[in-house]
Structure 1
Amino acid sequence: MNLEEQIYLRKSCRKYSDEPVCMNMIHEFMADVKPLNPDIGYHYEILTKDEVKVRNRWSAPYYLALYSEKKDNYQENIGFVFQQLSLYLQSIGIGTCWVGMDVPKNKNSEFVIAISFGKSEAMTRELSKFRRHGLSEISDFEDERLIPARLAPSAINSQPWYFKHTDDGFDVYQVKQNIIKRQVLKKWNPVDMGIALAHMYVANENTFEFEIKNSFEDLKGYAYIGSIKI
């Protein structure tokens, strides 16, 4: 199982068949998944579309409802953990899509976001088909080590990440959106940041480290999220 190669061909899936999915594979993978912050409790439940308020024009046969304690960086942690699962599901022929609008009919206060999933034949694309900012736009200078983060999915393709080189890695920042975009993206961009960090972890599994520094450069237009070593 090579999750890294999925980064370069993955596609958010919006077309699914009704073919059953073996849920045991999800539970087995999640037993060993790496969190961004191990001190934040989280859990998930698997729902059918009849158990979800679907607000998109399309639906999936299954949904993952993701829940978390509301601690600092909990949204980034959710994105980090469950993008690993998303890449794993794609590696075994199951398509996924992060869905910000769809919610469980019986959701509680710990609900964060959902992921649709199911068997699909429309879940990959060529690298040239990704619509993403250039490497020089997401960092203080172009660095091919950031390609995995560059290819991460995000709410309305907002791509809110920015990486500043340090002596041993990168300080990671989130774009401060304008007042109009902020109304839509304020709940989802922190999750997006976790998704991008998950891609960096998967591409650097043996060396990846994450920390939140007390001292960092304050960049105009950006909010500091944390720092990584790869």
Structure 2
Amino acid sequence: MNLLEAMHRRHAVRAYTDEPIDAHVCDDLRALITTLNKEGDVRMRLVTDEPDAFGNALLHYGVFKNVRNYVAIGTDETSGWEERCGYYGAHVLLRATQLDLDTCWVGLSFSKHKAQQHAKLDEDSKVRFAIALGHGVTHGKPSRSKTYGQVASVEGGIPVPTWFERGVEAALLAPSALNQQRFTFRLEADGRSVAADPGIGPYTTTDLGIAKYFFEIGAGDRAPLIWR
């Protein structure tokens, strides 16, 4: 499936079967992660057959069942780390979907300490998020979503290009903490520049990073997009 199809297919899945992930799928994800770590100055690691990070040590871990595979997403504390985690983690999220895996973006309901131990990140990096992945008991279902008009605006009454509309619609398919979708996209008067605002709330800057990658896929490679 292409990335647009992957965006529509992907839903949050929190319960997984015991079926292992094929070795060639792991190799594909690790190769992508290596590239993204260099490109985005992030520290991601694929961890397989490891039940501790999503175990039952605390009650809230119980929202997940049988998570034994995940991508630990870490960074140092340099400026912009929140958005980088979202933007580059979103690449892995959709690639895993293309590889016929189910996924869930996770901010709180796992042990970051245990994930840090098993991912073996650099000493100056901390695990911030995780992507649970594997073969889901189900493939999940769509979440409720805001509408195009609630998150998009255009300056100066200029005609709205198709690429902008498609970009916004794709961004609305992105995972968002607590399903809050507080990001907004404003097309400026030059018809190319898009001002992206995370809004206010928990994890909104990371949500924006994820949404910006989804937006870019929806808008297409030929869109004259400039982020502001």
Q: Per the alignment, in what secondary structure is the counterpart of residue 205 of structure 2?
A: helix
Report the Cα distance in structure 2 between the residues aligned to 1:91 and 1:137, rounded to whole angstroms: 29
Q: How does 1:118-137 map to 2 (within 5 A)?
A: 118-120=134-136, 122-123=138-139, 125=141, 129-137=142-150
Report the Cα distance in structure 2 between the residues aligned to 1:87 and 1:41, rounded to whole angstroms: 17
- Runs (4+) of structure 1 exceeding 3 A deviation are 31-35, 207-211
Q: Quote the offset at 1:94 in angstroms.
A: 0.7
State the Cα RMSD in Å: 2.7
Larger helix proportion of the pair: 2
Q: TM-score, normalised by structure 1?
A: 0.75
Paired letter, 1:173: D
Q: Quote the offset at 1:164 in angstroms.
A: 1.1
Q: TM-score, normalised by structure 2?
A: 0.76
Report the Cα distance in structure 2 between the residues aligned to 1:52 and 1:14, rounded to whole angstroms: 14
Gaps of 5+ in 1: 178-184, 212-225
Q: How does 1:1-230 map to 2 (within 5 A)?
A: 1-21=1-21, 22=23, 23-33=26-36, 38=39, 40-52=41-53, 54=55, 55-57=60-62, 58-59=64-65, 60-101=67-108, 102=110, 103-105=112-114, 107=116, 110-120=126-136, 122-123=138-139, 125=141, 129-141=142-154, 144-145=165-166, 146-166=168-188, 167=190, 168-177=192-201, 185=202, 188-204=203-219, 206-207=221-222, 227=228
Report the Cα distance in structure 2 between the residues aligned to 1:148 and 1:72, rounded to whole angstroms: 27
Count of residue pairs the alignment pairs up: 199
Report the Cα distance in structure 2 between the residues aligned to 1:104 and 1:123, rounded to whole angstroms: 28
**Structure 1 pair 135/6, CA: closer, same or farther in 2 (3 Å)?**
same
Report the Cα distance in structure 1 between the residues aligned to 2:40 and 2:105, rounded to whole angstroms: 24
Identity of aligned residues (%): 21
Paired letter, 1:191: T
